[in-house]
Structure 1
Amino acid sequence: MRQDVNSLKEHNARDVWHPMAHPADSIANPPDIIVEGQGVRIRDVDGHETVDAVGGLWNVNLGYSCDPVKQAITDQLNRLPFYSIFRGTSNDAVIELGAMLRDFFAPDGMARAFYTSGGSDSVEVSLRLARQYHKLRGEAGRTKFLSLKKGYHGTHTLGASVNGNANFRTQYEPLMPGCFHIPAPYTYRNPFNEADPARLAQLCLSALEDEIAFQGAETIAAFIMEPVLGAGGVIPPHESFMPGVRDICDRHGILLIADEVITAFGRTGSWSGSRHWGVRPDMMCTAKAITNGYFPFGAVMIGDRIAEVFEADTSGKGSIGSGYTYSGHPVGAAAAIACLRETERLQVKDNAAARGAQLWEGLQAIKDRHAVVGDVRGGHGLMCAVELVSDRDTRKPIDKKTIGRVHRVAYESGAMLRVSGNNIILSPPLVVTEADVAAILSALDAGLATAG
């Protein structure tokens, strides 16, 4: 260990600000210090072991002991640890990966990859490319973006502008103009007071049509959405919703961008979230599980009709004005190649579907036992949320102190959970076993028992 335990605890949260946390809160309540990961379990500095029910951050799909990915990183570091593809050069790893990604996402209609350093980068690039696409086609007035309330699209300025959660917006406003939001198909809380998923989907689609009419279709570049909303509280739409969005976008000449940073590579029980709903988007944002979280890397996948417009351009305006020092990093590409091979070899989407069904069933039983559980969402692979309330009738969100206690006791009982607002989010690695899921449910049950 780099420092002794006492030194680590003394400096914890004092020298480093943590994402999505108030610095004072982190100092007052120092975060757990994780020092080891094996399989789907993590161990903290005191030797306490838990199942990682968060899967890193939706990304450690293959767990912490995926030797093929580790070996690929080591081999690439020994051979070519870095060379940029920013201008005039390439490397063998990114070329091989590009062909693999094209084949993997071919059923989604994807034809090209543009490499990034992570999910926020991927969202930013996709939005920029959407505007550029319309300009290349002579529709320079198409600059606006539509998205869903409760949606999450990273923390870059454009991504934050299309985010639909005030927690990621208000302290940084004004953000980019020209970004507008429609209600999410969130059955537990929506402005229509509609609990039927199919009817709610139609109401949200009508709201989309209304917003397009109000803004003017000729001013809108793209609609961006997560196939299943993740950080906003795991909100799966009705099966009619994303196909309905696709139809509306087609009729109005608007691009559909699928933010697949969480849902790609098997988490929903399908290889992509879009494929889960039978939809072909125009672009897909990927990252996270593309390297199993072992290296910062991402890719924007670009559909055929988008690629054709850029590649047919003779004006020079099709030149891509986005890029990063670490675009196409050879180590990241090598990690992604190994990860994709292992992901397909293990067919993790099938285990995600099976273990997701087990988790979903267990959460329904937990809801019956604990009045503090207002809603349980998921049912599509290994992504679920438990929304906690102080009163089921009023649906008043539970207080921060109580949900913090639930989280703490669950951790002590054997599972690392994620708290987001008044939601507990569960997104374990896609290689969890039946026993692992049972351990997660048992720990959550113990935590909820403390909530009254």
Structure 2
Amino acid sequence: MHDSNFLKEHNARHLWHPMAHPADSLANPPEIVVGGDGVEITDIDGHRTVDAVGGLWNVNLGYSCAPVKQAIAAQLEKLPYYSIFRGTTNDAVIELSTMLRDFFEPDGLSRAFFTSGGSDSVEVALRLARQYHKLRGEAGRVKFLSLKKGYHGTHTLGASVNGNANFRTAYEPLMPGCYHIPAPYTYRNPFNETDTAKLAQLCLAALEDEIKFQDPGTIAAFIMEPILGAGGVIPPHESFMPGVREICSRHGILLIADEVITAFGRTGSWTGSRHWGVRPDLLTCAKAITNGYFPFGAVMVSDGVAEVFEKDETGKGAIGSGYTYSGHPVGAAAAIACLKETERLQVKDNAAARGEQLFKGLTAFKQKYELVGDVRGGHGLMCALELVSDRASKTPIDKKTIGSVHRTAYENGAMIRVSGNNIILSPPLVLTEQHVNTVLNALDAGFAAVA
């Protein structure tokens, strides 16, 4: 490995970073992270911080999860790779499928289709939704509905149902037949409604209206995050997702729960759908399924959807989607170990407790600092602060100021994530009360520096 001077000299010069402008990366070289232990990371200069980003929503068990590391090493010795395309499989992927059946049983999901990550899982789920309707003789059901502010990955279909212009406009035109309804975003919405329950009903009415306008017989699925993540941590009212479920069922529309972020305990429940008491038809997951230690994902399928495929006698039920690394034995071994450790530690309970502590501390900032326009969270370890330069007009804060908050917080012991004018926090689910205090103190220092 080259020395630190070499790495700093070449930082961002030959590498384009995801979700970043190349010029920004050159002007402001990214932090070079060289170590991780527990819930903390260490940069190239030896500076240690609590990782309040949790990798990227995925390192739920922290950076020292020995069972997952050992499972990866053991599987590499035994069988480092083999395809599970038709005709072959492996023992790890069979065991994992049974474990996931048990884990997702309360959500009504019993079949797994494995992918290489979250964007892959979304793409497969959307394709399966269209195929399901074709198998049932409703080939006209090809459209998709989703929420504005929603995020569903970077593949073409996933980007098409994304509800954030930042992930769309540079690549348009995207896929036709994708339509969006207002998100239950209390701080900013077209109805100027601040009551969360009333806003949920207005958004549900907008969904009904869009379905009627498009014609229910043309719509394949509605896809949503149980709590919107990358869009700024937007938790809906408890009536919203059950309302979506009822509307979709009544119109024969599949409900796809995008749980790439929310599955495996982050919301304080084992799944975001379960948090709201909803059973989706399809569910996408990835990220925490291997604690971020190996690229892996899955689409979970309900009995009702599975039955249509498995009883098909025309041959059209053959699944024409798959990836070279679908069901990778090393990824499957990592997921098995990760799921065992996730359940052993009951991380959902700690996520709920520490999430309550974090949300309470963040809420206090709104009273202390005028630049904190909105605080969102209260459902496990998913929180966000929306920063504004003027509360009355809700004008987003400028890039330089929020950048200063980020830098000062980092210097004071917390890695946070900036997205637009939002600070998003999604730390590992195994952090302690003291770790939460470190994050809050670091943010306090960041706000004080620019207030």
Query: TM-score with structure 1 length normalisation?
Result: 1.00
Superposed CA deviations along residues 91-130 of structure 1, whole A, max 9, x for unmatched, are 0000000000000000000010000000000000000000
Q: How many residues align?
A: 451
Structure 1 equivalent of residue 285 of structure 2: 286
Structure 1 equivalent of residue 273 of structure 2: 274
Structure 2 equivalent of residue 21 of structure 1: 20
* SS at structure 2 position matched to 1:65: coil
Instruction: Read off the aligned partner of 1:391 and give its amino acid letter.
Output: D
Question: For residues 363 and 321 of structure 2, what CA distance do their matches in structure 1 show?
Answer: 46
Structure 1: unaligned runs, 5 residues or longer: none
Question: For residues 367 and 29 of structure 2, what CA distance do their matches in structure 1 show?
Answer: 33
Structure 1 equivalent of residue 178 of structure 2: 179
* SS at structure 1 position matched to 2:349: helix
Structure 1 equivalent of residue 29 of structure 2: 30
Structure 2 equivalent of residue 102 of structure 1: 101
Structure 1 equivalent of residue 388 of structure 2: 389
* SS at structure 2 position matched to 1:234: coil
Instruction: Read off the aligned partner of 2:70 and give its amino acid letter.
Output: Q
Shift of 1:203: 0.1
Question: For residues 431 and 194 of structure 2, what CA distance do their matches in structure 1 show?
Answer: 32
* SS at structure 2 position matched to 1:36: strand
* SS at structure 1 position matched to 2:436: helix
Does structure 2 retain, via aligned residues, the 8 Å contact 1:372–1:451?
no
Does structure 2 retain, via aligned residues, the 8 Å contact 1:268–1:383?
yes
Instruction: Read off the aligned partner of 1:145 and give its amino acid letter.
Output: F
Please state if 1:160 is matched with 2:162: no
Structure 2 equivalent of residue 302 of structure 1: 301
Shift of 1:87: 2.7
Structure 1 equivalent of residue 122 of structure 2: 123
Instruction: Read off the aligned partner of 1:243 and give its amino acid letter.
Output: P
Question: For residues 412 and 394 of structure 2, what CA distance do their matches in structure 1 show?
Answer: 27
Matches for 1:118-157 after TM superposition, within 5 Å: 118-157=117-156
Structure 1 equivalent of residue 331 of structure 2: 332
Please state if 1:244 is matched with 2:243: yes
Structure 1 equivalent of residue 311 of structure 2: 312
Question: For residues 249 and 346 of structure 2, what CA distance do their matches in structure 1 show?
Answer: 33
Question: For residues 311 and 191 of structure 1, what CA distance do their matches in structure 2 show?
Answer: 44
Superposed CA deviations along residues 348-383 of structure 1, whole A, max 9, x for unmatched, are 000000000000100111111111000000100000
Question: For residues 246 and 358 of structure 1, what CA distance do their matches in structure 2 show?
Answer: 31
Structure 1 equivalent of residue 11 of structure 2: 12
Superposed CA deviations along residues 195-226 of structure 1, whole A, max 9, x for unmatched, are 00000000000000000000000000000000
Question: For residues 83 and 327 of structure 2, what CA distance do their matches in structure 1 show?
Answer: 7
Shift of 1:448: 1.1
Instruction: Read off the aligned partner of 1:150 and give its amino acid letter.
Output: K
Structure 1 equivalent of residue 74 of structure 2: 75
* SS at structure 2 position matched to 1:71: helix
* SS at structure 1 position matched to 2:304: helix
Superposed CA deviations along residues 318-348 of structure 1, whole A, max 9, x for unmatched, are 0000000000000000000000000000000
Query: TM-score with structure 2 length normalisation?
Result: 1.00
Question: For residues 24 and 150 of structure 1, what CA distance do their matches in structure 2 show?
Answer: 26
Shift of 1:21: 0.3
Question: For residues 393 and 449 of structure 2, what CA distance do their matches in structure 1 show?
Answer: 21
Instruction: Read off the aligned partner of 1:195 and give its amino acid letter.
Output: T
Please state if 1:434 is matched with 2:433: yes
Instruction: Read off the aligned partner of 2:294 and give its amino acid letter.
Output: F
Superposed CA deviations along residues 260-316 of structure 1, whole A, max 9, x for unmatched, are 000000000000000000000000000000000000000000001000000000000
* SS at structure 1 position matched to 2:189: coil
* SS at structure 2 position matched to 1:258: strand
Question: For residues 421 and 202 of structure 1, what CA distance do their matches in structure 2 show?
Answer: 28
User: Identical aligned pairs, as a percentage?
Assistant: 81
Matches for 1:185-264 after TM superposition, within 5 Å: 185-264=184-263
Question: For residues 195 and 382 of structure 1, what CA distance do their matches in structure 2 show?
Answer: 23
Instruction: Read off the aligned partner of 2:324 and give its amino acid letter.
Output: T
Structure 1 equivalent of residue 54 of structure 2: 55
* SS at structure 1 position matched to 2:316: coil
Question: For residues 370 and 136 of structure 1, what CA distance do their matches in structure 2 show?
Answer: 56
Instruction: Read off the aligned partner of 2:402 and give its amino acid letter.
Output: I
Question: For residues 201 and 407 of structure 2, what CA distance do their matches in structure 1 show?
Answer: 40
* Deviating 4+ runs (over 4 angstroms): none
Shift of 1:451: 2.3
Instruction: Read off the aligned partner of 1:241 and give its amino acid letter.
Output: F
Q: Once superposed, what is the RMSD of the aligned Cα atoms?
A: 0.4
Matches for 1:349-368 after TM superposition, within 5 Å: 349-368=348-367
